[in-house]
Structure 1
Amino acid sequence: MSFYTSLNGLKNSQTELGVIAHNIANVETNGFKKGNTQFADIVAGSAQTNPRMIQGIGATVEAVTQNFGLGPIEQTGSALDLAITGDGFFTMQAADSGRTVYTRNGALEMDESGYITDGGTNRLQVFPTDADGTVTSATPVDAQIAPVNADGAEFVGVTVGADGTVSASYADGSVTAVGSVALASFITPTGLKQIGSSNWEATGISGEAKYGSPGNGQYGKLMSGALERSNVDIAEELVGLITAQRNFQANAKAIDTATQISQTVINLRT
């Protein structure tokens, strides 16, 4: 039994090493949230077993959880680089499939049609507003900036306020509100499904998204001209890497010891 106990220990250490390696690989990924490996012990016993004689049979990986702690904020100067200084996720919707994803990576840009996107097909979702920036609907829609205003003046720039209001400036000096950034929150954010590119999808564990405006209630304010970096602490990960390596070596040594004992028993002479 000791062979399989130690073998499980080796597999667990490999899993932890994989999680740490993934964290280290994404130390420069905007909006990335590090993972933590959680373990649980395994015991075996029946109703007839003396509780003082129940034997542990190793450990198992209980969960790989995500740490949604705030990462460092880096100033960039670009108006469409957005960082959430608190809780919440940007809501993005794919133009081709209608798939909704959530992200903390606010590196956004405008496409040729005036939509604010993540550089791909995902479009930023905003609450519709009137020209003064007052929200008129609680249902998010695609953020789109008109290339010319009602008077025919051309678009010259965009700003995003701390309250999420997206405003477009035009050559005649006018400023028009495009919408208010819709932030999403979840009752259990650690239940979100990672799908890559610093994006997540809602699941039955996370619950459905609840939408709100930046700076209201549980939703953090927006900072324009800045990006949230990865929350991976490289020093902490390297210490974890050493610990996981030592655990792997210890389990391998336990297997080697069990092998030597078995060999001794086999070589017994009567």
Structure 2
Amino acid sequence: MSFYTSLNGMKNAQTSLGVIAHNISNSETYGFKRSRTEFSEIVAGSALTNPRMIQGIGASVKSITQNFALGPVEQTGSALDLAITGDGFFTTRSATDGSTLYTRAGSFTLNGNGNIVSNSGNRLQLFPVDANGQVTGNTLADANLPPQNAAGSEFVGVTIDDVGVVSASYADGSVEPVGAVALATFIAPTGLKKVGDANWEGTGLSGQAAYGSPGTGAYGSLLSGALERSNVDIAEELVGLITAQRNFQANAKAIDTATQISQTVINLRT
């Protein structure tokens, strides 16, 4: 039994090493959230087993839990670089299948159609607003900046304020609000499913997304001209790396010891 107990320990250490390696490799990924490996004890016993004689049979990976703590905020100066200074996720629409994705990576740009898109081409979602920038509904729509205003003046720039109102500027000096950034929150964000490119999808574990405007209720404000960096702490990850390595070595040593004991028993002479 000790062979399999230690073998499970080695597999668990390998899983932990993989998670740590993934964290370290994404230490420069904007909007990335680190994960940690959590383990649970395994015991086996029947109703007739003396509770003082129940022997543990190792450990298993209980979960790989995401940590959504706020990462460092880096100033960039670009109007379409957005950081959420608090809770919430940017809501985007996938460019490939139209699914709804959530992200903390606020590096947005304009595409040829006037849409505000992420680096993956996913379209940022906005609430509708009136001429004064007040939200008028909760139906989400793609962020799209008209190339010309009603007077025929050309588009020259865009600004986003701390409550998420996106305003387009035109050559005649006019500024027109086109929508307000829609943030999403979840009752259990650790239940979100990673899909790559610092994007997540909602699941049954995370619950339904609740949408709101930045700076209201539980939703964080927006900081334009800034990006949220990865929340990976390299020093902490290196300590975890050493711990996982020692764990792996200890379990390997336990297997080696069990092998020697078995060999000794086999070689006994009567």
- Aligned partner of 2:182 in structure 1 is 182
Q: What is the distance in 1 between the residues matched to 2:233 and 2:34?
A: 9
Checking the alignment, whether the CA contact within 8 Å between 2:193 and 2:200 is kept in structure 1 is yes
By how many angstroms is 1:149 displaced? Answer: 0.3
Q: What is the distance in 2 between the residues matched to 1:216 and 1:119?
A: 27
- What SS does structure 2 have at the residue aligned with 1:257? helix
By how many angstroms is 1:96 displaced? Answer: 4.2
- Aligned partner of 1:146 in structure 2 is 146
- Aligned partner of 1:250 in structure 2 is 250
Alpha-carbon RMSD: 0.7
Q: What is the distance in 2 between the residues matched to 1:104 and 1:120?
A: 13
- Aligned partner of 1:115 in structure 2 is 115
Does the C-alpha gap of structure 1 residues 95 and 256 become closer, same or farther in structure 2, counting only changes over 3 Å?
A: closer
Q: What is the distance in 1 between the residues matched to 2:235 and 2:260?
A: 38
Instruction: Describe how 1:1-270 pairs up with structure 2 within 5 A.
Output: 1-270=1-270
One-letter amino acid of the structure 1 residue matched with residue 94 of structure 2: A
By how many angstroms is 1:115 displaced? Answer: 0.4
- What SS does structure 2 have at the residue aligned with 1:215? coil
- What SS does structure 1 have at the residue aligned with 2:153? coil
By how many angstroms is 1:120 displaced? Answer: 3.4
1:72-107 CA distance string (max 9 Å, x none): 000000000000000000000024421110000000
One-letter amino acid of the structure 2 residue matched with residue 87 of structure 1: D
Q: What is the distance in 1 between the residues matched to 2:230 and 2:100?
A: 22
By how many angstroms is 1:116 displaced? Answer: 0.3
One-letter amino acid of the structure 2 residue matched with residue 53 of structure 1: M
One-letter amino acid of the structure 1 residue matched with residue 78 of structure 2: S
- What SS does structure 2 have at the residue aligned with 1:63? strand
By how many angstroms is 1:114 displaced? Answer: 0.5
One-letter amino acid of the structure 2 residue matched with residue 85 of structure 1: T
Q: What is the distance in 2 between the residues matched to 1:158 and 1:131?
A: 16
Normalised by the length of structure 2, the TM-score is: 0.99
Checking the alignment, whether the CA contact within 8 Å between 2:43 and 2:55 is kept in structure 1 is yes
Q: What is the distance in 2 between the residues matched to 1:37 and 1:31?
A: 20
Normalised by the length of structure 1, the TM-score is: 0.99
- What SS does structure 2 have at the residue aligned with 1:237? helix
Bigger Cα displacement from structure 2, 219-228 vs 130-139: 130-139
Q: What is the distance in 1 between the residues matched to 2:77 and 2:244?
A: 40
By how many angstroms is 1:205 displaced? Answer: 0.3
Does the C-alpha gap of structure 1 residues 200 and 148 become closer, same or farther in structure 2, counting only changes over 3 Å?
A: same
By how many angstroms is 1:131 displaced? Answer: 1.9
Q: What is the distance in 2 between the residues matched to 1:239 and 1:172?
A: 58
Q: What is the distance in 2 between the residues matched to 1:142 and 1:95?
A: 11
Paired-residue identity, %: 72
Checking the alignment, whether the CA contact within 8 Å between 2:120 and 2:197 is kept in structure 1 is no
- What SS does structure 1 have at the residue aligned with 2:78? coil
Q: What is the distance in 1 between the residues matched to 2:245 and 2:5?
A: 17
